[in-house]
Amino acid sequence: MPHRSSGRLETPLCSVLGCKVPILLAGMGGVARWELAAAVADAGGYPTLGMVRESPELIASEVTALRAATDRDFAVNLIPAATDPALLDAQIEQCFALGITAFSFFWDVMPEVIARVRDRGALVLHQVGSAAQARKAEAAGANVIIAQGIEAGGHVHGRTGSFALAEEIMQDIRLPVVISGGVSTGKGLAAALALGAQGVQCGTAFLAAEESFAHPFHKQRVVDASGADTVLTDVFVLNWPKGAAVRVIANSITKSLNGDLLGHDPDNLPRDPIAWDDGAERYRFSTDSPLRTTTGDLEAMPSYAGQGAGLIRDVVPAAVRIERMVRDAVACLDAGSARAADQGMSR
């Protein structure tokens, strides 16, 4: 459970989202399933179910399981710009039928999609990689902006550091801003709040949680990696638009590129099956990461991780990760207040 001083961390965003601490679970496709989302919610954070390009049937089963496990609020993550329009329509309609009250969107801002869910009374959290996209999301009706920096794991839309991007966005818009990318500890959370952000979103820190649906191989790679072991590449691009870069832990595939990490065209990449999920083929160069259910050549698949991986030393329950973050953030903020007081008295 959250540290007894977690109230020290409450921001207006907590009231908007219905959480106790401003720590968001990123909507990691395949990884952020109901078990991880429930654990984050019960520990006081705000979870996002990662339902990127998933079937309406899976969305229904995941939402049902999550609601059976916790009564806390949550969002469903969809990526309109990287989803077939017919599937996206079915996903959104399923979410409406399930009474979903919050959506988390990513990649290109699609105003018509934001308007569609806002018209049904749902909140919209939109992750962006630039100040221009933040302004577009605000104009379209988004409620919360998630500023994703280049340090982030998984799909990365921008090329600016997370804190520099967040500060630029906060100068331009009036919405609550959440920082995402490279934040894995309480010190990072304290730094984000000190900057003026209203919270942080974490992916890597929760991927290496016991409840995450990532394969143990992937979790151990995060624990063993440093931030310098991660690379930004678009070679794992099958299923996504050309140029969609991801941050992963370097593996045999990225090393074979001899430094040519970017500029790969999915139309020119082979579809060689190297792994399977319940009989479904997973191709070399696809965006599919190894999950609990995956068998095959796990090493050749993308092990997503942000530059904050070097701060993750173990696989623990999500509640423990949040407890540590809250404890250390409170200690940092209290130490900063004490220093400020001392400086004031010495003048």
Domain residue spans of the chain: 9-213, 216-309
Task: Look at the pTM and tell me if it is higher than 0.85.
Answer: yes
Rounded Cα gap, residues 45 and 65, in angstroms: 18
Who's near 139: CB < 8 A, 6+ residues apart? 111
pLDDT in tens, 33-89: 999 999 999 999 999 999 999 999 999 999 999 999 999 999 999 999 999 999 999
pLDDT value for 210:
98
pLDDT value for 8:
79
Of 240, 221, 90, 93, nearest to 155 (Cα)? 240
Q: Is 148 exposed, middle or buried (0-12, 13-18, 19+ CB in 10 A)?
A: buried
Rounded Cα gap, residues 269 and 83, in angstroms: 20
Q: Band the pLDDT of 3: cuts 50, 70, 90.
A: very low
Contact 225, 249 (CB under 8 A): yes
Contact 237, 261 (CB under 8 A): no
CA distances to 211, 303, 322 from 317, rounded to whole Å, are 7, 20, 9
pLDDT value for 1:
43
pLDDT in tens, 260-297: 999 999 999 999 999 999 889 999 999 999 999 999 99
pLDDT score of 206 more than 70: yes
pLDDT value for 5:
56
Q: What CATH class has 9-213?
A: alpha beta
Helical spans, DSSP H, in 102-215? 111-118, 131-140, 162-172, 186-195, 204-207
Rg, C-alpha atoms of the chain: 19
